[in-house]
């Protein structure tokens, strides 16, 4: 599976710019041969405008599902539409949508760990369910940004036998080293491919770190972006996962009777 991350400079509160620009980046990735494209977190209005948040949010995800589902079908690609700020039933969620090659929305995920240092928990409602889905016969999982700091979440997905984890984010440059280390660790310890797509540029006082990447189950970098807008692409050979698991038996050698979470 040729997987692409469309690293994007998301403009705060400007969906009129962000949505067409995201569609343009997806087209560019498809033209480069991508089977699956990943966008960053809150690509519709950024992370996150506190003024008029409910009005700026995509009501029931209707705009995302219509426009991005249609483009996935047109280009015949899989699309993990990062995440978008959505308004459902008067509550605000940080929601990712997944579209298959026919444009069907086959999965959605509401961010479960809200970033309290920036007050995300004061404005957003946390999700209550984890997310797995299948793209081109490959079982995948999805987490969003701050979720990355909770290894038990990714391990739970890994125990459901995912082969590829998607991580959209708006991760600040000041903690770029954490971003790179945690993504690599989640790939290594769970012996999975991992595609992480970060935002870049500046929104308000925050400078986002870019450094989107695709890791193999050894934690080796298959592709990595810099700090500006960029599309990266890597071919994920899932036979590697079985080779690694047959040589380092992490899952066979677990001792779950000793673990208390």
Q: Answer yes or no: 111 catalytic.
A: yes
- Out of 5, 65, 111, 140, the active site residue is 111
Active-site annotation holder among 105, 145, 196, 200: 145
* CA 211 from centre of chain: 13
Domain coordinates in residue numbering, the chain: 2-258
Return d(Cα 52, Cα 32) in angstroms, integer: 37
In CATH, what is the architecture of 2-258?
Answer: 4-Layer Sandwich (3.60)
Q: What are the structure tokens assigned to 187, written together?
A: 């790939």
Q: Does the annotation mark 140 as catalytic?
A: no
pLDDT per position in the chain (261 positions), as tens? 999 999 999 999 999 999 999 999 999 999 999 999 999 999 999 999 999 999 999 999 999 999 999 999 999 999 999 999 999 999 999 999 999 999 999 999 999 999 999 999 999 999 999 999 999 999 999 999 999 999 999 999 999 999 999 999 999 999 999 999 999 999 999 999 999 999 999 998 999 999 999 999 999 999 999 999 999 999 999 999 989 999 999 999 999 999 987
Q: Which of 41, 120, 163, 170 is catalytic?
A: 41
Backbone angles phi, psi at 98, to 5 degrees: -120, 130
Give CA–CA dist 193/191, Å, rounded.
7
C-alpha triplet 37, 72, 43: angle, nearest 5°: 55
CA distance 141 to 240: 18
145 is catalytic: yes
**Residue partners of 136: CB distance under 8 A and separation at least 6:** 1, 35, 36, 78, 101
């Amino acid at each position: 599976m040729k997987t692409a991350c469309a690293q994007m400079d998301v403009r705060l509160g400007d969906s009129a710019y962000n949505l067409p620009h995201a569609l343009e980046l997806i087209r560019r990735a498809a033209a480069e041969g991508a089977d699956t494209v990943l966008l960053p977190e809150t690509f519709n209005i950024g992370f996150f405008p506190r003024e008029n948040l409910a009005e700026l949010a995509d009501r029931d995800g209707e705009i995302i599902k219509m426009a991005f589902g249609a483009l996935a079908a047109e280009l015949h690609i899989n699309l993990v539409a990062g995440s978008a700020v959505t308004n459902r039933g008067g509550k605000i969620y940080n929601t990712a949508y997944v579209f298959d090659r026919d444009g069907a929305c086959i999965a959605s995920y509401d961010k479960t760990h809200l970033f309290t240092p920036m007050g995300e928990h004061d404005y957003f409602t946390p999700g209550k369910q984890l997310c797995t889905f299948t793209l081109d016969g490959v079982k995948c999982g999805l987490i969003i940004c701050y979720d990355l700091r909770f290894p038990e979440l990714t391990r739970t997905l890994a125990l459901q036998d995912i082969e590829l984890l998607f991580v959209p984010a708006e991760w600040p440059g000041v903690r770029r080293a954490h971003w790179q280390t945690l993504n690599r660790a989640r790939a290594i310890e769970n012996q999975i491919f991992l595609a992480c797509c970060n935002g870049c540029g500046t929104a308000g006082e925050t400078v986002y770190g870019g450094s989107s990447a695709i890791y193999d189950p050894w934690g080796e970098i298959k592709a990595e972006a810099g700090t500006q807008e960029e599309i990266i692409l890597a071919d994920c050979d899932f036979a590697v996962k079985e080779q690694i698991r047959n040589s380092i038996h992490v899952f066979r050698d677990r001792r779950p009777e000793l673990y208390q979470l």
